[in-house]
Amino acid sequence: MDLFVVKRPEEEDKVIDESGNIARLLKKIEKRKRQRIKHKATKSTIKNVINRTKEARRIKRELKAKLQSSEVQNLTGIDAELPKNDELLEQNEIAKQTELEGFTILGTDKYDKKPKVKRVLPKWLSNPTVISVNLQDLQHKVSNMKCLSKDLRKKLKDNGVKYFFPVQAEIIPFLIQSYQESKLMIPRDICVSAPTGSGKTLAFVLPVIETLKNFVTKKIRALVILPTQDLAFQVYKTFDKYVKGTHLKVSLITGKSTFAQEQTELITKNEVFGYLSKVDILVCTAGRLVDHLKETKGFDLSELKYLIIDEADRVLDNVQNDWLYHLEVHIHQNDFRILNLFTLNKPRPPQKLLFSATLSQDPEKIQKLSLFQPKLFTSIVDSTEGTEINTNLFIGKYTTPKELTEKYIRCSTDLKPLVLYQFIKQEKLKKTLIFTHSTESAHRLSILLQLFFKDQLKIVEVSSRLVTRRRNKLIDDFAKGIVDIIICTDKLARGIDLVGVQCVISYSSPTFLKTYIHRAGRTARAGEFGLAVTILNHSEVHKFLNLLQEAGKNNLEEIVISEEHLELSGEQYKEALQGLKQSVTKESKESVRKVKLTKRKLKTNVRKPTTVIS
Ligand SMILES: Nc1ncnc2c1ncn2[C@@H]1O[C@H](COP(=O)(O)OP(=O)(O)OP(=O)(O)O)[C@@H](O)[C@H]1O
């Protein structure tokens, strides 16, 4: 029989060695246990517990590994004086439990990779109606849209609108039809995700006016919520343009006027009928709306037919004043899903319309609005033309206008202003917006560029440093062509409709994709062509290109500014920097002087003797 026994001396040595190891490890556990009991009274911080937990886990892992190797050895028929498997596990268990001083480790040591969970979108999100982004080949003549009254069609033509943009051609008939059918069935809520400058505003303004213009009694029937005062004003102006000639009254509440002024514009009180609304369509910001819901007597939204949230992702991110809760209290949300004799006569909830170029991808966020059988309208880039559309691919994917060209410039941080100057010079840019990350940076950059270009270009800064009136004046001047370049922060990135912007430059790299989309969206609007350029320092390039890949933008062209040109402007750059330094020092001295003056004034006010009335 010996002939068939294969002796492996190395293996045998190893087994002996292994058993010794395990014995040593068990001793170690025992020793540590004793030590711990000794120091138990003094050491009880959480940090220690964590460390010891880690140690116990490590030992347990080692033990297990040994155990496995011993199993292999048992299989090979080599007997060794090793504890039995069960014994080992038991000891291990004791070690684990005692190591943790009453804390039991939950779970196992197995770190198996969990299978990736497949994202399953609700059906309405994964089966949208696709809206084209092609604004060059418009198909839908205004005169052919018979669901709009003659008056409205005429007004559109008077304002230079001959063809509808794709988003309007889809949404306007849908909304008018669902309104007509609303006597029989509750209209579906809609979410519209279409590129910047694709005409989303008219897509809701026109059907709202068309369907409400026949109501005789005054009640707030359409409520439009926007994230900022400026955007609300812009939408208000569009409504105002198209309600002319109807008896509809549009009002704006954003906090620009005093609260009392807004109240008198909204409500009137009648001896016989009590409070009456003076408004049919109300455009507002969320914060100011809550103020009126709480404070204005007679402010009634029970007859609301439309609740429109423009720039919906931004508005929904705003939890200020818990506006959604307060709004829900005032509009009817309940008892409407089943139509029966009881619910038929109850006021219906308004149809909710959500619009954005970057609509939330998160169904949970949208869920907050309790949408009724929602329907999604979204745009895709035409690159999939001819292939079968995979709807899951473009859900929530942001699209930019087809007419937008995107490029980037790579340079070192200290040369950024010089590169910017050179780029503006060589491209002979006018009507340009430059985005920076902060008000301070916008201010300094504007001084620097003004020093560079002197009288050649009119460069201004539009930021929160200026009062609203001054800001609006500069934006107007830009639209008229009096101002060539605006340097601004992201406050101007969303929704603002500036006609004919030639180029948008991101001087500071955008942190989020949404920020980039909205910045770039200030150009290439309404079918015009435009350029978006991002200036990046070397370390930002990778991150930025990755960010853009999320929106399916893979082949961004790099613009190279020649070093020769930069060198030629070197002296000018030094002078400009010197000028900036002087200007900043002067400004800081001025602000110190102002602070001192205010303090002095305060002191003298405090010292003034108070008159005692005896
Ligand atoms: N059918 C049309 N024909 C010509 N111009 C149009 C048409 N519809 C809208 N416009 C113009 O296009 C511009 C952009 O429209 P709008 O501001 O509604 O875009 P938007 O989709 O809301 O953009 P953003 O997402 O940036 O807010 C406006 O100046 C508007 O007057």
Residue 117, pLDDT > 50, answer yes
Q: Ligand 1: distance of its center to the CA of 492 in Å?
A: 16
Residue 222, pLDDT > 90, answer yes
Pocket residue to mutate for ligand 1, from 198, 241, 309, 355, most atoms within 8 A of Cβ:
198
Tell me phi and psi for residue 332, to 5 degrees.
-80, 125
Task: State the pLDDT at residue 86.
Answer: 54
- Residues 497 and 445 occupy one common structural domain: yes
Task: State the pLDDT at residue 342.
Answer: 57
Q: Ligand 1: distance of its center to the CA of 164 in Å?
A: 10
- Ranges of beta strands (E only) in 279-323 are 281-285, 306-310
The reply to whether 396 falls in a domain is no
pLDDT band of residue 337 (cuts 50, 70, 90) is low
- Residues 74 and 173 occupy one common structural domain: no
> How many angstroms separate the CA atoms of 478 and 482, rounded?
6
C-beta of 187 in contact with ligand 1 (< 6 A): no
Task: Classify 465 as helix, strand or coil.
Answer: coil
Residue 46, pLDDT > 60, answer no
**E strand or H helix that includes residue 610:** none
* 441-444-450-453 Cα dihedral, nearest 10 degrees: -70
- Residues 418 and 502 occupy one common structural domain: yes
Atom of ligand 1 nearest to the CA of 526: 12
The reply to whether 123 falls in a domain is no
- Residues 345 and 446 occupy one common structural domain: no
At which of 350, 382, 414 does a domain end? 382
C-beta of 164 in contact with ligand 1 (< 6 A): yes
Task: State the pLDDT at residue 68.
Answer: 62
What is the rounded average pLDDT for all residues in the chain? 83
Token code pair at residue 442: 């916008």
Q: Whose CA is nearest to atom 4 of ligand 1?
A: 161
**Full domain range(s) for residue 575:** 404-583
pLDDT band of residue 400 (cuts 50, 70, 90) is confident
- Residues 211 and 314 occupy one common structural domain: yes
The reply to whether 602 falls in a domain is no
Q: Whose CA is nearest to atom 22 of ligand 1?
A: 200
- Residues 362 and 485 occupy one common structural domain: no
Pocket residue to mutate for ligand 1, from 156, 200, 241, 492, most atoms within 8 A of Cβ:
200
- Residues 38 and 139 occupy one common structural domain: no
Give the residue from 450, 448, 462 showing the smallest Cα distance to 415.
Answer: 448
The reply to whether 554 falls in a domain is yes
Q: pLDDT tens for residues 60-69?
A: 787 777 666 5
Residue 266, pLDDT > 50, answer yes
pTM assigned to the model: 0.76
Percentage of the chain surpassing pLDDT 70? 79
Pocket residue to mutate for ligand 1, from 201, 355, 404, most atoms within 8 A of Cβ:
201
- Let me know: does 356 contact 201? Beta carbons within 8 Å: no
- Residues 475 and 550 occupy one common structural domain: yes
Q: pLDDT tens for residues 497-533?
A: 998 999 999 999 999 999 999 999 999 999 999 999 9
- Let me know: does 535 contact 505? Beta carbons within 8 Å: yes
- Residues 63 and 197 occupy one common structural domain: no
The reply to whether 600 falls in a domain is no
Question: Which CATH number belongs to the domain containing residue 373 in this structure?
Answer: 3.40.50.300
Task: State the pLDDT at residue 563.
Answer: 87
The reply to whether 53 falls in a domain is yes
C-beta of 73 in contact with ligand 1 (< 6 A): no
The reply to whether 280 falls in a domain is yes
Stated length of the chain: 614
C-beta of 494 in contact with ligand 1 (< 6 A): no
Task: State the pLDDT at residue 324.
Answer: 85
Q: pLDDT tens for residues 159-169?
A: 999 999 999 99
- Residues 343 and 484 occupy one common structural domain: no
> How many angstroms separate the CA atoms of 157 and 176, rounded?
20
Task: State the pLDDT at residue 82.
Answer: 41
**What is the DSSP secondary structure assignment for residue 320, as one 8-state letter?**
G
Give every CB contact of residue 513 below 8 A, 6+ residues apart in sequence.
Answer: 358, 398, 547, 548, 550, 551
Q: Ligand 1: distance of its center to the CA of 169 in Å?
A: 13
Q: Whose CA is nearest to atom 30 of ligand 1?
A: 199
Residue 104, pLDDT > 80, answer no
Question: Which residues share a beta bridge with 504?
Answer: 433, 532
- Residues 214 and 356 occupy one common structural domain: yes
Q: pLDDT tens for residues 193-205?
A: 999 999 999 999 9
Domain count across the chain: 3
Task: State the pLDDT at residue 330.
Answer: 82
The reply to whether 71 falls in a domain is yes
Atom of ligand 1 nearest to the CA of 203: 18
Pocket residue to mutate for ligand 1, from 140, 164, 165, most atoms within 8 A of Cβ:
165
- Residues 216 and 324 occupy one common structural domain: yes
